[in-house]
Structure 1
Amino acid sequence: MAGDAILETNGLTKEFRGFVAVRNVDLRVERGTIHALIGPNGAGKTTVFNLLTKFLQPTSGRILYNGQDITRIKPADVARLGIVRSFQISAVFPHLTVLENVRVALQRPLGNSFHFWESESRLNRLNGRAEELLEDVGLSGYAGHLAVELPYGRKRALEIATTLALDPDMMLLDEPMAGMGHEDIGRIAELIRRVAAKRTILMVEHNLSVVADLSDRITVLARGEILAEGSYAEVSRDARVMEAYMGTGHA
Structure 2
Amino acid sequence: MVDDTLLETRHLTKEFAGFVAVNDVSLRVRRGTIHALIGPNGAGKTTVFNLLTRFLPATHGQILYRGEDITHARPAEVARRGLVRSFQISAVFPNLTVLENVRVALQRKLGTSFHFWQSERSLDALDERATELLAQVDLASHRELLAVELPYGRKRALELATTLALEPELLLLDEPTQGMGHEDVGRVTALIQRVARDRTVLMVEHNLSVVADLSHVITVLARGSVLAEGPYADISRDRQVLEAYIGSAEPEAAV
Q: TM-score range by the shorter chain?
A: over 0.9
Q: Answer yes or no: is 1:195 the counterpart of 2:224.
A: no
What is aligned with 2:180?
180
Q: Secondary structure at the match of 1:41?
A: coil
What is aligned with 1:223?
223
Q: Please give the alpha-carbon distance, in whole angstroms, between the structure 2 residues aligned to 1:228 and 1:2.
A: 25
User: How far 1:120 sits from its partner (Å)?
Assistant: 1.9
TM-score, length basis structure 1: 0.97
Q: Gaps (5+ residues) in structure 1?
A: none
Q: Is the contact between residue 175 and residue 205 of structure 2 (CA under 8 Å) also seen in structure 1? A: yes
User: How far 1:114 sits from its partner (Å)?
Assistant: 4.2
What is aligned with 1:119?
119
Change (3 A) 1:2 1:217: farther
Q: Please give the alpha-carbon distance, in whole angstroms, between the structure 1 residues aligned to 2:231 and 2:46.
A: 21
What is aligned with 1:63?
63
Q: Secondary structure at the match of 1:23?
A: strand
User: How far 1:110 sits from its partner (Å)?
Assistant: 2.1
Amino acid at match of 1:62: Q
Q: Is the contact between residue 173 and residue 204 of structure 2 (CA under 8 Å) also seen in structure 1? A: yes
Q: Secondary structure at the match of 1:221?
A: strand
Change (3 A) 1:206 1:116: farther
User: How far 1:116 sits from its partner (Å)?
Assistant: 4.5
Structure 1 runs (4+) deviating above 4 angstroms are: 247-250
Q: Please give the alpha-carbon distance, in whole angstroms, between the structure 2 residues aligned to 1:40 and 1:114.
A: 41
- Percent identity between the aligned chains? 71
Q: Is the contact between residue 7 and residue 63 of structure 1 (CA under 8 Å) also seen in structure 2? A: yes
What is aligned with 2:164?
164
Q: Provide the alpha-carbon RMSD of the alignment.
A: 1.4
User: How far 1:121 sits from its partner (Å)?
Assistant: 1.5
Amino acid at match of 2:75: P
Alignment of 1:92-103 (within 5 A): 92-103=92-103
User: How far 1:247 sits from its partner (Å)?
Assistant: 4.6
User: How far 1:117 sits from its partner (Å)?
Assistant: 4.2
- How many residue pairs get aligned? The number is 250
Amino acid at match of 1:145: L
Alignment of 1:14-33 (within 5 A): 14-33=14-33
Q: Is the contact between residue 109 and residue 167 of structure 1 (CA under 8 Å) also seen in structure 2? A: no
Q: Please give the alpha-carbon distance, in whole angstroms, between the structure 2 residues aligned to 1:117 and 1:178.
A: 38
What is aligned with 1:75?
75
Q: Please give the alpha-carbon distance, in whole angstroms, between the structure 2 residues aligned to 1:111 and 1:67.
A: 28
Alignment of 1:235-250 (within 5 A): 235-247=235-247
Q: Please give the alpha-carbon distance, in whole angstroms, between the structure 1 residues aligned to 2:27 and 2:172.
A: 14
Q: Secondary structure at the match of 1:138?
A: coil
Q: Is the contact between residue 85 and residue 173 of structure 1 (CA under 8 Å) also seen in structure 2? A: yes
